[in-house]
Amino acid sequence: MSLHADALAVLRAWTPPTPVQESLRQRYVAHLEAHPDGMTRACRPDHVTASTLVLSHDRREVLLTLHAKAEQWFQLGGHAEPDDATLAGAARREADEESGVAGLVVHPVPVHLDEHAVAFCRLPDGGSDDQVVHHLDVRFVAVAPPGARHVVSEESLDVRWWPVDDVPNPDLVPLVQSALDALDEVRNSEGGVMREASDQPSR
């Protein structure tokens, strides 16, 4: 299964928690159905991206990056790459690269969607155009192991743990709550075990 097919299958199967999220889900599905290259940054003006909200093992803190270009605190994530096999796998790779945290466990089901304009998103060859690019971001949640150590990548100005109830970017509040809700559901349905499946194709 291709990355595009996996993303489409994941989004078709996902049950959003709110009507607003359902509207976005339909928007993403329509985008991918209309654009075979919809997972790539070459798809203009909109393309699907993948990100991960990393929570500490006790769910009390979130690991955020101070994005070098946007100069704002965000969850970890970005564009899919040609070698990514799944949407969740792309989110996991981005989290690994931007945090340096070993042993992240990523829940394979999305927890939140967000569409936003990105002024600094450039064409793959480094060129620019006059279109306003929108990232159709699919957000996952991961849990870090106890004592996790992080690093600051070249894409970040800083990487830091923040209390879940005191994140520095108010736009992240709905994502944090959605992630915590999703983990509660996992605990209830799987006896507290969140199984790693980020690199497995959707079925």
pLDDT tens for the chain, residues 1 to 203? 999 999 999 999 999 999 999 999 999 999 999 999 999 989 999 999 999 999 999 999 999 999 888 889 999 999 999 999 999 999 999 999 999 999 898 999 999 999 988 876 666 555 555 678 899 999 999 999 999 999 998 878 999 999 999 999 999 999 999 999 999 988 787 654 454 444 433 32
pTM of the model: 0.88
Task: Give the Cβ contact number of residue 86 at 10 Å.
Answer: 25
In angstroms, rounded to a whole number, what is the distance separating the alpha carbons of residues 40 and 66? 24
With the C-alpha atoms ordered 65, 3, 83, 199, is the resulting torsion angle positive or negative?
Answer: positive
Task: Give the Cβ contact number of residue 191 at 10 Å.
Answer: 7
